[in-house]
Chain A
Amino acid sequence: MVSSPLSATAGLPAQARGGASADALIEELHRLQERRGWLDRDALRQVAAQLRLPLSHVVGVASFYHLFLLQKPTAHRCAVCLGTACFVRGALQLAEQLSERLGVTLDDPQGDGLWSLQRVGCLGACGQAPVLVVDARLLTRLPLSRDELPLLEQRLDTAGLPRAGANGLPPDLACQRPRPEQRP
């Protein structure tokens, strides 16, 4: 049989390593993050010890996947969908508007300390594009045309999104231009 070039450690059956198996690493990280909100170094060390894996391996895996947070997230988060369907329906403009409104830079995980704005690839709600997530609540079919601006602002107000300056930070933070690869 041909042996997979990457299966040196994984070739061992789970029981041979004792305790939980190494292939449970991602599940374990999900569980911890759910409990603690994010993954600090201690949490990663704990997982490494528990699964008998080198810390380097655990950090390597945790840092590979987008959903694992290795920095403390802001208390409130807003994610704007830039999937293709949302993009075609004007999500790029929505992202700019949000960045201005919140006074934070797109994809800066620290935001203004309270709110951050990130973009996501696709939320799978393409039928209701354009969509947005505010603190785990999905807002769908957002009105984006110019004459509907008050309507949009109203929906964002209802969702609890603050307007820049409301928490004492200058809105011009939003004017920092992101690096090319960060720009949508």
Chain B
Amino acid sequence: MIALPPRSVPQLRCCQASGCRSAGGETLLRGLQDASRESSGAIEVKGVGCLRLCGRGPLVAWDGPAGTALFGDLKPEQAGDLVKLASAAPPHPESGPEGQKAGNRNGEELDAMKGAALAALNAQRLDLLQPFFALQTPLVLENCGLIDPDAIEEALAAGAYSQLKRCLQELTPEQVRAEVRRSGLRGRGGAGYPTGLTWDTVALQAPGDRYVVCNADEGDPGAFMNRSVLEGDPHRLLEGLAIAAYAIGATRGYIYVRAEYPLAIARMRRALAQARERGLFGGGPGVGSFRFDLDVRVGAGAYVCGEETALLASIQGRRGCPRPRPPFPAQAGLWGAPTLINNVETLATVPVILRLGAEAYAAIGSPTSPGTKVFALSGAVRHTGLVEVPLGTSLRTIVETIGGGALDQRGAPGGGALKAVQTGGPSGGCIPAAQLETPVDYESLRALGAMMGSGGMVVIDAGTPMPLLARHFMAFSISESCGKCVPCRAGTVQLAALLDRFLEHRAETADLQRLEELCAMVRDTSLCGLGQAAPSPVLSTLRWFRQEYEAGVAVR
């Protein structure tokens, strides 16, 4: 998946996603570039998007005559050694096109090399055949980690904008919408509403202006899937947005990115400038009357702006307060005009659907939840990073096989024992270890009191008490409530106070019922998704780990 076929001129791909950069990847890349200039052998060095196994960053992939090898935990001072190793390795005459087989042979060559520095590098080699890599199905992330996100030439060579071109030249907007509808694609932002239906609703409004908005306000703690697309393959998102604009008849669009992602914002802006310069958004020959342009808008640290009506208010320069729906943004959104709002991953999937065809895409995943989904695996799990798998894959496969199971946290009580998996962030819930066979799709997770959410998956080990975790999420909801409606503004504070009673072992038996009643009230009467989902972490932990709450009742 991140391996490339053998190449005669060796290439080093250094991960430049935020995670690896902060772990030293930025200095490492500079070191590699300097060393490659001084190197006698021909070698190419480039920065790429996420190479997936974030927990072992900074990562570098070496594509040589014998296929791809991946190194982790690299130190900037190892740049010289890496370049030496990559440029010195002799071409392997028998290496076949299967990169993985070749990678193994390559290992033997590495072993044959002398020197402590090379031995150290060898020890930092990561096995590309391990389940973490082998069980992934990259569609949305197919180019992420392979191409330089700042170079539009590389994106174009990898097929970016070819589906947009095809739409403009061969398909009517109705045909594009029909294709998306038949693919069964569901919104990847969390709610799982059929994307084709949303597109139709916007397209079929009365004639006039329309807008298309990409929600890149990825605020759920434990979620970094969208960031990886923005940072690793920005042109894919731009293509998806332009296709959506064509399909619904919009001429303007916005990408609303959270301010906490400065690198994603910079790369997105650069990609946008490159695409504009090349006339990819219309105006060129053979694309009819299609004209489209978009802006990158930056948030300012408000979780609630991930809610669609709050997001629209924020784009218009106002406080990010949600408003009651209807009217839905599809009817009256930005400046009162019909507005399509889709998540980053939803839009980034559109070019894949058009390339594969709706039927082929729908055949991936499960019948009710077709396609693949990117998950951000983190928490008390051995392999942390980015995982793209077909929907319907069991939680056990994701957490135990791909993730390698619970992490043995040194010195932490209960470390090493998997207790639950938290999905959907502060709006989601905890799935107990006993339910790990559950297939990950929209309906199954909801039936367990959790939700798909945007794709954050945090593994909880036995060292974390559930009421404490619920309290942690409640603190988040309190701090992020916009304050517009009372159930959310005041209810969350009261819920936190109730949870404190359990945490401090001074709860009464009746407090359990109070907790449940208040949860139901906040859920049923809040204005927007933030308030409605704020009790979910409490309700789901109450459902599966009730004894932990009962243990918080004071003994009299």
Contacts and interface: CB of A to CB of B under 8 A. Distances in A.
Interface in A99-146: 120-129, 131, 138, 140-141, 145-146
Contacts of B410: 145, 147-148
Contacts of A7: 316, 332, 335-336
B333 A23 contact: no
Interface in B42-80: 54-55, 57
Interface residues of A, number: 57
A65 B320 contact: yes
B167 interface: no
A6 to B, nearest CB: 6
B438 interface: no
A4 B333 contact: yes
A2 B206 CA distance: 11
B327 A4 contact: yes
Contact of B222 (A25, A84, A138): A84
Contacts of B55: 127-128, 141
Nearest to B218: A124
A30 B318 contact: no
Interface string B308-339: 00000111111111010011000111011000
Interface in A63-97: 64-68, 82-85, 87-90, 92
A67 B496 CA distance: 24
A60 interface: yes
A145 B380 CA distance: 14
A2 B52 CA distance: 45
Contact of A127 (B54, B315, B461): B54
B323 A67 contact: no
Interface residues of B, number: 77
Contact of A88 (B23, B461, B476): B461
Contacts of B464: 87-88
B221 interface: yes
Contacts of B303: 121
Interface string B209-224: 0000000001111111
Interface string B233-265: 000000000000000000000000001110000
A25 B482 CA distance: 19
Interface in A4-33: 4-7, 10-11, 13, 21-27, 29-30
A2 B479 contact: no
Contact of A64 (B205, B302, B384): B302
B323 A5 contact: yes
A10 B316 contact: yes
Contacts of A89: 379-380, 409
A181 interface: yes
B379 A129 contact: yes
Contacts of B458: 84-85, 88, 126
Contacts of A92: 472
A97 to B, nearest CB: 14
A30 B331 CA distance: 31
Nearest to A136: B262
A123 B260 contact: yes
A168 interface: no
A128 B461 contact: no
A146 B410 CA distance: 9
Interface of A: 1-7, 10-11, 13, 21-27, 29-30, 60-61, 64-68, 82-85, 87-90, 92, 120-129, 131, 138, 140-141, 145-148, 180-181, 183-184
11 contacts: A21-B317, A87-B464, A88-B461, A89-B409, A122-B222, A124-B218, A125-B54, A126-B223, A127-B57, A127-B224, A129-B378
**Top 3 A-B residue pairs of the complex, sorted by shortest distance between their CB atoms:** A127-B54, A145-B411, A65-B300
